[in-house]
């Protein structure tokens, strides 16, 4: 089973799934720095999410859920690597 690529999609659908164009470029060399950057970003963003939820008089768990959701959306639909 091969991974989907952007070439198999119609031209109008490609802007909606930008990760299909750069995902084939991911390899062992790029994974380690990406993982390190993601871990550092998660540590900072999770503490901010809990703090903001607490300031807003909401349960701290909601800050964690909001943080995780926004991170996944940004990773999949944000700018491609190297921009």
The per-residue pLDDT of the chain, averaged, comes to 82
Q: Is the pLDDT of residue 82 over 70?
A: no
Give the pLDDT of residue 81.
62
Q: Is the pLDDT of residue 30 over 60?
A: yes
The values of phi and psi at residue 10, to 5°, are -65, 155
pTM of the model: 0.58
| Residue 52 is assigned to a structural domain of this protein | yes
* CB proximity list for 61: less than 8 A, separation 6 or greater: 53
Segments forming the whole domain that contains residue 69 = 45-83
Distance CA 30, CA 46 (A): 24
Count of H-run helices and E-run strands, the chain: 3, 0
Predicted confidence (pLDDT) per residue in 34-72, tens digit: 888 888 888 888 888 899 999 999 999 998 888 888 878
User: What 3-state DSSP class applies to 64?
Assistant: helix
Q: How many domains does the chain have?
A: 1
| Residue 24 is assigned to a structural domain of this protein | no
Give the pLDDT of residue 10.
84
């Amino acid at each position: 089973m091969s991974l989907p690529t952007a070439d198999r999609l119609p031209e109008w659908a490609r802007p909606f799934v930008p990760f299909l164009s750069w995902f084939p470029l991911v390899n062992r060399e790029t994974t380690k720095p990406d993982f390190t950057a993601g871990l550092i970003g998660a540590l900072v963003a999770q503490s901010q999410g809990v703090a903001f939820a607490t300031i807003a008089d909401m349960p701290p768990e909601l800050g964690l859920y909001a943080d995780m959701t926004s991170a996944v959306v940004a990773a999949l639909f944000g700018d491609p690597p190297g921009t």
